[in-house]
Each structure stands twice: as structure tokens, then as C-alpha cells.
Amino acid sequence: IRALGEDDHGLDAVEASATVEMLLEVLPPRERRIVELRYMQGMTQSRIAELVGVSQVQVSRLLRSSLAKMRSSLSDVDGSCAV
């Protein structure tokens, strides 16, 4: 039995997942796919480059740009940056 007021880590995970999904929606489809392949499927930048048809350097740049967009969107939503 859980104590009243105890942190629910499962709820935290659900909230984090919902936040990530919301932030991914701000990205164009190609950038979203690249972020999902890298961080959700654990692919290397080189493998992503092969799949998407761009250079590994371009994948790196797109990831950096995409994460910046996501951070900015998070800041816009709650006034802080937690990504």
C-alpha cells in the first residue's frame, strides 16, 4: 500500500512521455523521424543517414536543430526548460 503523498514514478513516466509526444509534434515529419530513430530506437547517426538519405553530418545538424526547437516549445509552454 502506498502512502498518501508518495511520489508515483509511473505517473511521472506517463507525463514525461506525453510531453515528449507533444514536443515532437512541433517538428516537421523528417526531423521527427530522425529524433525518433535516434532517441527512441537507439540508432546511430550513420544508420539514420543511410535510411533518410542524407549525410551523417546533416543528421547531426538536424538533431541539434530539432532538440533546440523542442526546448523552445517546452519553454513556451511552461516557462522553463527541462529537456
Q: Answer yes or no: pTM beyond 0.85.
A: no
**DSSP 8-state symbol, 2:** P
φ, ψ dihedrals at 3, nearest 5°: -80, 145
Q: Helix axis angle, 9-24 relative to 56-78, nearest 10°?
A: 110
What pLDDT is attached to residue 45?
Answer: 98
Write the pLDDT tens digit of every residue in 28-57. 999 999 999 999 999 999 999 999 999 999
